[in-house]
Amino acid sequence: MLAPGPVAFWPKRWNYESTRMYALESTDARGRAEVLRGSNLLRLADYNQAVVLDLIRRDPGRSRTDVQRTSGLSSQTISNITRRLIEDGMVQESPPLDAARGRPSIPLRVKADGAFAVGVHLDPARLTLLLLDLAGEVRERLQLRVPHDVNPREVISLIALSTGRLISAAGADRHRVLGLGIAVPGPLDIVSGVMLDPPQLPRWHDVKLRADLHDFTGMPVLLDKDVTASATAELRTSAGSDFLFLYLGSGVGASVVTAGQVLRGVSNNIGEVGDILVDPSAEDLGWGGRRGGLAAACVPEALVIQAAQAGLMRLPDLTDYSAIDDACTRLSELAASGDPNASDLLRRAAHRVAVGIGVLVNFLDVSRVVIGGPIWDRLSTAFLPVLEPAVRNELIMPREPFSVVGSMVSEQVAALGAAELVMDHFLAPRASVLVMD
């Protein structure tokens, strides 16, 4: 379950230096290349420990025998590692299961307070922060509106200050917080940790976000693209290891999960699908996106412009994404209350989105599409009844089974994915993210 959290509002000014706090101890355990089984060599003890912890974390309730069988490690190695993990407060034993004969099996589970990770999602309209524990539960969540007239340094300062407050509110041991993951709009230079030039954040040109956040918080920081982080969270929380993830926030993006791996592309900037043509006869919105493109069909800015053109509302300041977000909420509320014009607008948008999804499904040959992101909850009621049958009409070859479903994580999916990346980087026996500060 994802714990609800308060919605907070951003103070106009704060002291930069007061946010240089909460330096946390980190660990030297780094992710390594994908290896499916452990080794009994003592020099790989750290790696073996990561193998065992990951198995217990992914499948709670395993016994030592189960872990030994899956990992390929010796029973003595498993015994030694589980003892260390229990002593370190990372794993705990559950009451033994009944056994008809022989020694009862003792289930192993991670100890929720054994480790934490902070996940942050920077969307042009809102900032979401959450604290994830080792058991995969969200312990605390904070959401803040993002004013359009602030600079990157102020946002970084706010993230640092809010991170400290988040950890304190959850009552978490700061020394067990592994680090901070942040999901942001692309394009990114993952190697240098730089936001290059996100279209909806015009003041964020060549911002050294990873290094700056590390300086302000003292934490290890991992940076990822919002759509990739979202697909990571969906993979961790849903059944199935192959799907297309469509991200709907202030922008639109797509990610692909295949064989349990999130594809990233050669520059880690996979997912720029907003210019896919979905309706050549679409109206001219007079905005920066491609006329008739996927983004013009579904991002809040485009929907609000269409609503204003239809006389449903006044057009907000299009440089203020929080105001656009509020207007999009009003549009969805109008449709939910039965307003025929609002309902028709969103139904038309859903059909256009279905064309874009159809293009991607035909290209990628997937049988499952998951949709999520900050605005999905508001659009899902209008979109879901339309999407699956409309996408099926776009398919070159019928697929059975085939489904279009909403995310199990919904609006905080990118922040959760960012926190999961931190957990994986430090605790999993493989490299999810290659570089960090």
Which whole number is the average pLDDT over 100-119? Answer: 86
Of residues 333 and 241, more confidence is placed in: 333
pLDDT at 20 over 50: no
pLDDT at 433 over 60: no
CA distance 289 to 273: 11
Per-residue pLDDT band for 100 (boundaries 50, 70, 90) equals: low
pLDDT at 31 over 50: no
Supply 267's token pair. 């520059």
Of residues 433 and 326, more confidence is placed in: 326
In the prediction, which pLDDT does 272 show? 95
Q: Which among 118, 134, 262, 268 has a CA at the least distance from the CA of 181?
A: 118
CA distance 149 to 111: 43
| 67-78 tens-digit pLDDT | 999 999 999 999
% of the chain with per-residue pLDDT over 70: 86
- Count of CB atoms within 10 A of residue 377's CB? 16
In order of their start, the domains of the chain are 1-238+411-437 (3.30.420.40), 240-407 (3.30.420.40)
Which whole number is the average pLDDT over 311-315? Answer: 97
What does DSSP assign to residue 277?
B
Per-residue pLDDT band for 12 (boundaries 50, 70, 90) equals: very low
Of residues 170 and 428, more confidence is placed in: 170
Which whole number is the average pLDDT over 283-289? Answer: 87
In the prediction, which pLDDT does 361 show? 97
pLDDT at 285 over 60: yes
Q: Give residue 100's identity as a one-letter amino acid code.
A: A
* H helix or E strand, kind and range, residue 93: strand 91-93
Report how far Cα 299 is from the mean position of its chain's Cα atoms: 18
CB 250 within 8 Å of CB 300: yes
